[in-house]
Amino acid sequence: MFAEWGDPEGRPIFNLHGTPSCRLNRHPNQELVRSTGARVITYDRAGYGGSDRLRGRVVADCVADVAAIADTLGLHRFAVTGTSGGGPHALAVAALLGDRVTRAACVVGVAPYEALGDDWFLGMDPENIKEFGWALEGEDRLTRELDRKDRQRQERALGDPSEILAEFKLPDSDRAVLARADLLEVRRETTLESTRQGVGGWVDDDIAFTKPWGFDPASINVPTLVWYGTADVMVPASHGEWLARAIPAAVVRLNQLGHMGDPDADLVERFAWLTGAAGADESS
């Protein structure tokens, strides 16, 4: 299933959701989105929301879905972006559909586990270390644990969505984003919708990140924005650093914030770069 947001006559951008999430993940201020001139397409990755599960999928398997949606909408050329768990999937689209992709962005996305090995976990919050440890143990253990976590997430979504990540040791910038009133309803909707068929999509994402992705980031030849934060404990900065080195066409955007950044300013800057309306400053 897919959805569209922003300016229906604007420049198309596929916005690939994080882990776990779904097509309903969007900025709450649609006037702000429309002001960027972007036509934003989101969809439920396999196993999430209303999409069928594809057990055993690799990151690159999302490419066929994006191509099919683009064909349905009559879009030959488009930009693609992904945040967190959506980041590697956006890179897959850039690598394997490069002739159709104008620009790509990977925002606080993980690097390949096989590239970093045990260093993949350095600087990561203990809760994420546990989760990906279960992924390395196998599907059965991961499914049991994520079933439990999902029940807790849904209870919090129905009560106080700002507490969904209460057990994580997040920086103040992320806590401030979680407390924003305008984001709470979107968080509630996405949390309840993303796993309405179970945690299969979440399970498959986690496992896909820890095995070969099905493409080489070094093969990406379209302009690609690699965006990450020094205070991020969900996906540490070392992941962004590796991706920035590996992708030949990478433009680096580094900030001093956590995983959630500044939702308003970041959206405007990123969409401006993706639509070609502005360049992104390279930071170090």
> pLDDT, tens digit, for every residue of 79-133?
999 999 999 999 999 999 999 999 999 999 999 999 999 999 999 999 999 999 9
What are the structural domains, with CATH classification, of the chain?
A: 2-274 (3.40.50.1820)
Residue 6 identity: G
Residue 42: the pLDDT is 98
ω into 217 cis (within 30 of 0)? no
pLDDT band at 278 (very low <50, low <70, confident <90, very high): low
Among all chains, which residue has been given the structure tokens 């070392």? Answer: 238
Residue 281: the pLDDT is 42
Looking at 210-262, list the stretches that DSSP marks H as alpha helix, in order from N- to C-terminal side.
237-246
Q: Is the dihedral of CA 259, 105, 21, 61 positive or negative?
A: negative
Residue 282: the pLDDT is 40
Report pTM: 0.96
Average pLDDT over residues 34-57: 98
